[in-house]
C-alpha cells in the first residue's frame, strides 16, 4: 500500500494516433514531481496473402520470390505492445516492448519472444537512447492495418542516438551501420539535422543525413540524403500524409528495401509515400495509401498500395479492414493481401 503522500492517483486514458511511438495509457501521479504512465495496446490480426511473393505478417521493403503462386492465412497478436513512462521532475524515462522478436511455433503454443522497441532518457532538451531516428517523421505514417503501412515509402528505423532539441530544430548523432559493407570499421556516428514547421494546418519536416560508409574493399565513402515529410490537415478531420526521400540513404528507407552498399558502390535511393485519410463520420474513416522506392545501383524497385476502413466501436476499441498489394517490380513478382484487425488501447 502507498502511504498517505502517494495516495493521490490521477487516472486518465487518452488515445494517440497510430503513428506515434506509443498509445498513451493510465497516469499514476505519485508526488508533485513524480508520475508513472502505463500504456500500449492489444492488436489481433487475421491476414490472407496470395501471389508469388511469400507470406509475411507485415510487408517490409523486401520479400521472398516464389516460383509459383501460393496462398496463406494466419491469425496472430505479435504487434501487441506495452510501455512505461517514468517522470521525475525534468527527467523522463521511456521503455516499450512488443512481441515481434520471433521464437515459438505454430504447432502447440504460438509463443513469441518480447523485444525492445524504445528505451531512452529525456532530460530537458536532450534525448539519449534507442528510439525513432531523428530523420523520421512519425506523423507522416499512414493509419493502416498492415503494421506501418506502405513501408516501401517510409523512413522507418529505430536506433541508439543522442539528440538535442533547439525549438523547431533538432540535431542528432546516431548509430552507424554500413549494411552490405564492412561494419567492423563503422567508427563515425551518423549525423542528422532536422527542422520542423508546425501550425494549425499540420506539420512538415525537412531533414538531412550525413554519414561515412565503409565498403568491403576497404574504402570510406561519404553518403548524403534528404527527406521532406509531413501531415497536412484538409477538410473536416481529413488529412494528407506524405514523404519524399532522395539520396544515399540505404537502410534508412523502405524497411530493408535496399542495402547501403552493393559491390562497393553506395546505393542511391528515391522514395515516395502518399496517403489520404477521410472521415466518413466521427468514428468511421478510410485511408488510401501508396509507397514506392527505387534503387539506382541495385535497380531494385518496390511498391505497395492499400485501401482500408476503420471504425471505433468504443473510444479505445477499433476494428479495421484492409486490402492491398505488394510488388517487387524488377522481378515481376507481387502478392495481394487482405487483413482484418482488432485493436484495444490500454
- Using one digit for the tens of pLDDT, what is the confidence trace for 324-342? 999 999 999 999 999 999 9
Residue 20: per-residue pLDDT: 42
Mean pLDDT of 276-288: 98
More confident site: 269 or 107: 269
pLDDT score of 24: 60
Residue 102 pLDDT grade (very low, low, confident, very high; cuts 50, 70, 90):
confident
**pLDDT surpasses 50 at 88:** yes
Q: Which CATH topology does 41-80+115-345 take?
A: Porin (2.40.160)
Percent of the chain with pLDDT over 70: 93
Return the pLDDT at 1: 36
User: Can you say whether residue 149 is alpha, beta or left, with left for phi > 0 and alpha for psi between -120 and 50 degrees?
Assistant: left
Q: What is the pLDDT of residue 18?
A: 34
pLDDT band at residue 19, thresholds of 50, 70 and 90? very low
Comparison of pLDDT for 27 and 203, the residue scoring more? 203
C-alpha cell at 288: 488510401
Query: How, if at all, do strands 158-166 and 202-214 pair?
Result: unpaired
**CA-CA-CA-CA torsion for 122, 123, 129, 135, nearest 10 degrees?**
70
* First-to-final CA distance of the chain: 23
Assess whether pLDDT exceeds 80 at residue 23: no
Whether the per-residue pLDDT at 21 is higher than 50: the answer is: no
- Name the nearest CA neighbour of 206 among 153, 135, 271, 126: 135
The count of other CB atoms within 10 Å of the CB of residue 68 is 5
pLDDT in tens, 171-205: 999 999 999 999 999 999 999 999 999 999 999 99
Note the pLDDT of residue 346: 86
Which pLDDT score is estimated for 109?
86
> Rounded mean pLDDT of the chain?
91
What's the CA gap between 239 and 126, in Å, rounded? 31
Give the pLDDT score at 22.
55
Pick the residue with more confidence: 110 or 96?
Answer: 96
Position 148 confidence tier, pLDDT thresholds 50, 70, 90: confident
* SS3 track for 141-173: CCCCCCCCCCHHHCECCEEEEEEEEECCEEEEE
Domain parsing of the chain, residue ranges = 41-80+115-345
Amino acid at each position: 500500500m502507498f502511504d498517505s503522500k502517494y495516495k493521490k492517483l490521477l487516472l486518465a486514458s487518452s488515445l494517440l494516433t497510430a503513428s506515434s511511438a506509443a498509445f498513451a495509457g493510465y497516469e499514476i501521479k505519485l508526488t508533485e514531481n513524480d508520475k508513472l504512465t502505463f500504456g500500449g495496446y492489444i492488436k489481433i490480426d487475421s491476414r490472407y496473402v496470395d501471389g508469388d511473393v511469400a507470406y509475411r505478417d507485415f510487408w517490409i521493403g523486401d520479400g521472398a520470390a516464389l516460383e509459383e503462386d501460393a496462398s496463406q492465412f494466419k491469425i496472430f497478436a505479435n504487434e501487441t505492445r506495452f510501455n512505461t513512462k517514468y517522470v521525475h521532475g525534468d527527467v523522463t524515462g521511456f521503455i516499450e516492448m512488443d512481441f515481434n522478436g520471433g521464437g515459438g511455433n505454430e504447432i502447440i503454443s504460438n509463443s513469441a519472444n518480447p523485444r525492445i522497441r524504445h528505451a531512452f532518457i529525456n532530460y530537458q532538451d536532450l534525448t539519449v537512447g534507442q528510439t525513432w531516428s531523428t530523420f523520421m517523421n512519425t506523423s507522416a505514417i499512414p493509419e493502416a492495418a498492415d503494421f506501418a503501412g506502405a513501408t516501401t515509402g517510409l523512413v522507418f528505423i529505430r536506433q541508439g542516438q543522442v539528440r538535442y532539441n533547439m525549438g523547431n530544430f533538432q540535431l542528432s548523432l546516431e548509430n552507424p551501420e554500413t549494411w552490405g559493407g564492412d561494419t567492423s570499421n563503422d567508427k563515425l556516428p551518423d549525423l542528422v539535422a532536422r527542422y520542423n514547421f508546425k501550425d494549425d494546418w499540420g506539420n512538415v519536416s525537412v531533414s538531412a543525413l550525413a554519414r561515412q560508409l565503409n565498403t568491403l574493399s576497404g574504402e570510406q565513402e561519404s553518403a548524403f540524403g534528404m527527406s521532406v515529410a509531413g501531415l497536412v490537415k484538409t477538410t473536416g478531420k481529413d488529412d494528407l500524409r506524405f514523404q519524399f526521400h532522395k539520396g544515399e540513404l540505404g537502410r534508412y528507407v523502405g524497411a530493408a528495401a535496399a542495402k547501403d552498399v552493393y559491390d562497393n558502390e553506395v546505393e542511391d535511393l528515391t522514395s515516395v509515400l502518399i496517403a489520404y485519410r477521410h472521415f466518413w463520420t466521427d468514428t468511421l474513416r478510410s485511408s488510401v495509401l501508396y509507397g514506392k522506392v527505387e534503387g539506382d545501383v541495385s535497380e531494385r524497385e518496390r511498391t505497395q498500395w492499400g485501401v482500408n476502413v476503420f471504425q471505433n466501436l468504443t473510444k479505445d476499441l477499433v476494428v479495421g479492414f484492409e486490402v492491398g498489394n505488394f510488388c517487387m517490380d524488377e522481378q515481376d513478382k507481387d502478392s495481394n493481401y487482405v487483413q482484418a484487425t482488432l485493436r484495444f488501447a490500454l
